[in-house]
Structure 1
Amino acid sequence: MRYAPFIAYSEPTIRTQGSYAIKSSAPVNICLNKTLTRTVSPTINLSNYTQIKFDIRSTRTGSNIKIGIRDSGGTTTYITPNVTSANNYQTVDWDISAVSNANKDAIDRIIIEIVNAAASNTFYIDNLFAPAIVPNASVITSASSNSSDKITWSWQDNSSGNYQEDEFRVYSSTGGLLTTRTADTTFWIETGLKRNKEYSRYIQSYNTAGSSNSATISWRTKPGSYPESVTIRAGSKSFGFVGDGNWTYDIPAKSGQLATVKVWVRYNAEYGAAQKPRATLSNLGVSSSQQMTVGSNTWEELTLSGTPSRDGSLLLKIEGESTAPGARVYADDISVSQ
């Protein structure tokens, strides 16, 4: 850009970052009130930005130039920086928080004007930028678990444009960082969890300006079942699962013949006063159910039956209703006749 005899050009050596700074020379007197204008294309949207920063160096101290940003609507916002030390770069913090978004949403020109030409001046401007804005908090929209060791956490990304996050960070409710996910990601599958355990997480939207946290949400993994070698009725193993879990078993069956399934079920004292465990037999047109009646730590045989409508597999399901800590249900000694 040029306004004779006030000129500006790229300077590759005296700079603070990048490859070049803008160097301007303003001879004495003749440059007073003269301007240099750089067209910005495409325009820059500074909506919601509160600050601009730049580095300035000058052979003269004092307030000798002013710098403006012009919106395409015709409004120009100026700052007149005060150079406190000659021939040294200093960083200027330009507060634009009072400028309405309508007057900074389409910046199309950068303007430099000489306001004091009592002496010749050579100055440099570099590293002009608007610091990032703290991103908006995301919202956890769902949590789901299809297994005993995984939870899928999903969230809504509320940060874009001038609020764009650099990354998402997933934290436990106690504040420990679990993982970081790239910008615009909206879910994370957490693995390696314990069965039937509740986990609490929140999402942090982060960029260099700061961070915003979502609300904390909690979810529980599926209960799952496990081989039990202590609480058994027959043989060396039974199946155990937590109090509000379930255990399923496939039983091959033939069409048109009555199938009778017997299973021994037991629950422990920690199960408490919740509805007692229940066994159901389903699929292939069969629907049979029986609930336990005896107290804790006692095996009870439950009998289920039905006639399948076709060949296939019946589904035997044992399920508990207790969420008490330490509650357990056990199934053992299954017999099938058809």
Structure 2
Amino acid sequence: MKYLVLLLLALCPLIAVAEPAPGVARLAQVGGPERQIDLTIWYPSDTEAAEVVGGNAVFRGATAAPAAPLPTGRLPLVIVSHGGLRSATDSGAWLSAALARRDMIAVEVNGPRVTGAGDAVDEIWQRPRDIVATMDRVLSDPVWSRHVDTNRISVVGFALGGTAALLAGGARIDPAIFAASCDGAGGPDCGWLERQGRTLADVRRDRLDRMRGDPRVASVVAVAPEYRAAWQDGMGRMSAPAHIVRLGAPGGPAPDGATLAAIPDAAPADAFAVCTETGSRILREDGGDPALCASSPDARRAVHARLLDQVLEGLAARTRQ
């Protein structure tokens, strides 16, 4: 009997993924030699799951079917830019998989992992460039370009990725306000930057000044975007409709040119995946933020369902103006 129990326990991970799942594929080393990004492509499929994507010791991943047959026809393309400066690869897998289950092609952008503050201060303009490079790569690919409806290209972003999504859609950022964003209350990475002797004032302002939106973007959804004071006055220049989702109190009216929704009983951490049973402990032991795993699995799944509804609502405005 003991060996039967051990066998069943060993088979549990396999049983957990033996269900229909979205297809998944990867494109590696996209972009130029100075900054290469990796793309994880999610697409509709009813093939049996055989892999878990985006899982680690802290967060649970999403089930996927690698090498599943590609969809027929042309589908909406959603580029997903998830997480802040130090988010792990495929941290938005739960959202990308959910979008693929709703007959979209979702491409999560995985940029180089930021390890030092010297590179981090320039992520504000690098992330929108990654989004543009992703569009270029997918639309030029001999396989994937045949499956994309080029009139329905959207960007969904969370945290710093949410700010990048707005900038890719045409919002403008004020370099001076951004450079001073750590003054006073500060932001989520201000302490980390300061401990390494860097500030946001070290950003390459010339790159911020030259940033422009991409006209191929038909709509933007930004979840808890960072550095609000620096971009909220530049929303009027957007060429794409934007939907902003705040996790927590609404915090004032919507910026000009955008619609606004809030999930008052949620926290920004709830946009991350469901945590493992040991996630909170690992974060404490490694000097991370245990608040990332403050919500119970059921509570976080409930927020995910409401957040997905808001993302879909924002994507419904993708008709070009």
TM (norm. structure 1) is 0.18
Structure 1 or 2: more helix by fraction: 2
Structure 1 or 2: more strand by fraction: 1
TM (norm. structure 2) is 0.19
Q: Larger relative CO (CA 8 A, sep 6+): 1 or 2? A: 2
Larger radius of gyration: 1
